[in-house]
Amino acid sequence: MFFSGLPREVLRACLSGRFMVALSLPILEEYRRVGAEFLRVRSDSELDEILGQLVAIGLLVDPPCLPEPLCRDRDDDKFISCALAAEADAIVSGDKDLLAVSGQRGIPVVTPRQFLTLSWNLP
C-alpha cells in the first residue's frame, strides 16, 4: 500500500496532479481489505484519508472482463483490466505477479523505484 517509502512518494506525485490515478471498485475493495489487515498491526494508519484522496483525484473506471487470465495470481488481473479501461500508460506496482506480465496488452508494469527514478517518460 501507500503508507511509507517509495509507494508513499508515488502517491505524493499523483496527489500533486503530476500523474493520473485510475481506480476501479475491485481495486478500492482490495485496498480496503489490505488496509484493514494492516490496521491490525499498526493502529496509526491513514487508510481512510488516503483512500478518500485517491477517490477524489482518481479516474474511476468500469473495467472489462479479461477473456483469459494474464497473471499467475488471477486476482491481480483487476489492475490490468483497470489500466486497459483507463488507457493507462503504465501500472506502478511491486507485486511480483504483476511485474512478471509487464507489457501484456501493451501496458508496462514498473516498480515504484523505476517510476520515480525514470520520472517515467510518459506522454
- Express each pLDDT in 37-63 by its tens digit: 777 766 556 777 888 888 899 999 999
Q: Which amino acid is at 3?
A: F
pLDDT of residue 21: 92
- Beta strands per DSSP E along the chain: 22-23, 59-60, 91-92, 109-110
Q: Which amino acid is at 52?
A: G
Q: How many CB atoms lie within 10 A of CB 100?
A: 14
**Most confident option among 51-60, 74-83, 112-121:** 74-83
pTM listed for this prediction? 0.84
Domain edges within the chain: 5-88
